[in-house]
Amino acid sequence: MYPLKFKPIFKTVVWGGEKIAPFKGVKTTQDHIGESWELSGVAGNESVVANGPLEGRTIAQLVKEYKGALVGNKVYAATGDEFPLLIKFIDAKSDLSIQVHPDDSLAAVRHNGSKGKTEMWYVIGADEGAHLLAGLKDSIDPQEYTRRVENDTITQVLADHPVHPGDVFFLPAGRIHAICGGCFIAEIQQTSDITYRIYDYGRLGLDGKPRQLHTELAKDAIDYKVYPDYLTKYESCKDKEVEVVDCKYFTTSVYDLDKPVTKDLSAIDSFMVVICTAGGGTVCMTDDKGENSVSICQGETVLIPAQARAVTFTPDASVNLITSYIR
């Protein structure tokens, strides 16, 4: 195998903006593009390979055929034929709904064995004054939660964060959150499309009708604990890997490169996703059969198969990358 690129899946939503298409260097006549699903194994939204001999095949077909060679033997044993991560770019022209996601155990019971959704955000761009909501700032219980949704005061107990490019937020299942207008974000998450929409500001959908809320379902999914901080702190380091999130679902690092950097993958029994947020360069994987390279530029995502023993990132001039794998 070789480094794989995929065709983006654009999603039109009521809160979508105009940043995704130019960021990715593509032309589209669609309005309100709020999401570009870069790599997805979600049923009905499976990504399609865009390069090389496997062009036209879906990620679901590849996982079923190549199994551990593509995703890693340990990963395949745990997740089977479903690709375990969903990668998105999100452009919020206006505020998204306030929402929460169930964990694995709750999702399995309520949604026919489905996975829950733990996710993370990496802020690519932020308009002046942009902010987002993540976590509780005041302690509430399920009864107060219900009252505050009903009387339109739920936002008063949520932690509000000003955002800047490079900010990282880790969102375990159960954490109330909302991306707000002016945020442009890369999202890495479990393969799950289960969202409980708690509150939507009385907004109408693209069909002119109120969007469905899941206020009662969300009540049992929420983590009501107040945490001291919700922003993931890290120190950027030029030309080195900087790990920013490590959880059972994904390990994510960022790279700010002016020079080539090689990552040893020999001890990692997992695929690696590489997301380019700025600049461009080359991604070269080495396996037992030799080397295979592919170019990468801003807005592109590349999948490195688990059979790779190493990967080298070589910037054209400079490049900013996000990588994720399953430890």
- The catalytic residue positions are 197
In angstroms, the CA 18 to CA 103 distance is 32
Strands (E), 18-102: 33-39, 85-91, 98-100
- What is the greatest pairwise CA distance in the chain? 63
Q: Which long-range contacts (CB under 8 A, 24 or more apart) does 259-265 make?
A: 259/315, 260/312, 260/313, 260/314, 260/315, 261/312, 261/313, 262/310, 262/311, 262/312, 262/313, 263/310, 263/311, 263/312, 263/313, 263/323, 264/309, 264/310, 265/304, 265/308, 265/309, 265/310, 265/311
Q: What are phi and psi of 255, to 5 degrees?
A: -130, 135
User: Please, which residues bridge with residue 177 across strands?
Assistant: 99, 134
Alpha helices in the chain (DSSP H): 20-24, 59-66, 68-71, 73-79, 104-110, 142-150, 215-219
**How many beta carbons lie within 10 A of that of residue 9, not counting itself?**
17
